[in-house]
Amino acid sequence: MTDHPFHLRDKRILVTGASSGIGRAIAIECARAGATVIASARDVQRLADTMAAMGEGEHISMCADLADAGQMAALVARAGAIDGVVHAAGIQGLTPMRMMRQSFLDQVIGTNFMAPAMLTQKLLAAKSLRNGASIVFLSSIAAHTGTVGVGAYSSSKGAIEGLMRVLALETAPRAMRVNALAPGLIDTPLVNGDRAFLEEKGKAYPLGLGQPEDVAYAAIYLLCDASRKVSGISLHLDGGIPWT
């Protein structure tokens, strides 16, 4: 029987931010889809929990702070040759522009844009990404819509989408693909401390709030061979929410 293309068997996938939320779900679901996963995050215990949930396989965990150039270089060396990377590490942040401090902006841009940009650069420079590899960035519908108080976050995601489109062209000669996932509000530990907030915001989503697994399944599509002609896009997972 011919294999269906919606699987990740024989692929090695690096997932950052794998200790919680969307990153954790992506690591677990990639493992379930047959991939060997290199799971990276800063929290040792939560990363160990993710590894346990991934089950059997030659999976690798590595605790790394991507704000540290040395730790990033060590992660690239440990990962070895890979067939895909999902940049799921990120932070949010809420502050109106008139109250924004440069230190806050630096932190958000550094985590959400600079870290995935430079990790990708190092992976490409080290030739760690095999021909035909898939690079997936985590963006947000905040990159496309205006929401009061999230200027830094929206800017970081808009920047990552701009980078994604350039990389899609630069890596095409090696049959590599570069895409972004742009979820709406997802029920993760970053936001689920305020259930009243989630329930109120959830009313605006015709298909309801997203779950981490929803993003994970979309990531698997962009990583697998079924999407081998898909590159340079931002795939919106917004639950049908009207933008205007």
Domain at 117, CATH number: 3.40.50.720
**pLDDT digit string (tens) for 32-55?**
999 999 999 999 999 999 999 999
Domain-located, residue 127: yes
Domain-located, residue 242: no
**pLDDT digit string (tens) for 133-144?**
999 999 999 999
**pLDDT digit string (tens) for 170-196?**
999 999 999 999 999 898 866 555 677
**pLDDT digit string (tens) for 203-215?**
888 998 899 999 9
Sign of the torsion formed by the C-alpha atoms of 144, 149, 155 and 160: negative
Owning domain of residue 208: 12-234
Domain-located, residue 240: no
Q: What is the pTM of this model?
A: 0.94
By percentage, how much of the chain surpasses pLDDT 90? 81
Structural domain total, the chain: 1
Catalytic residues: 140, 153, 157
Domain-located, residue 1: no
Structure tokens given for 42: 């800063």
Domain-located, residue 152: yes
CB 164 within 8 A of CB 232: yes
Domain-located, residue 6: no
**pLDDT digit string (tens) for 152-173?**
999 999 999 999 999 999 999 9
Domain-located, residue 241: no
Residue 1 is predicted with a pLDDT of 39
Instruction: Please give the average per-residue pLDDT across 52-74, as a whole number.
Output: 96
Domain-located, residue 194: yes
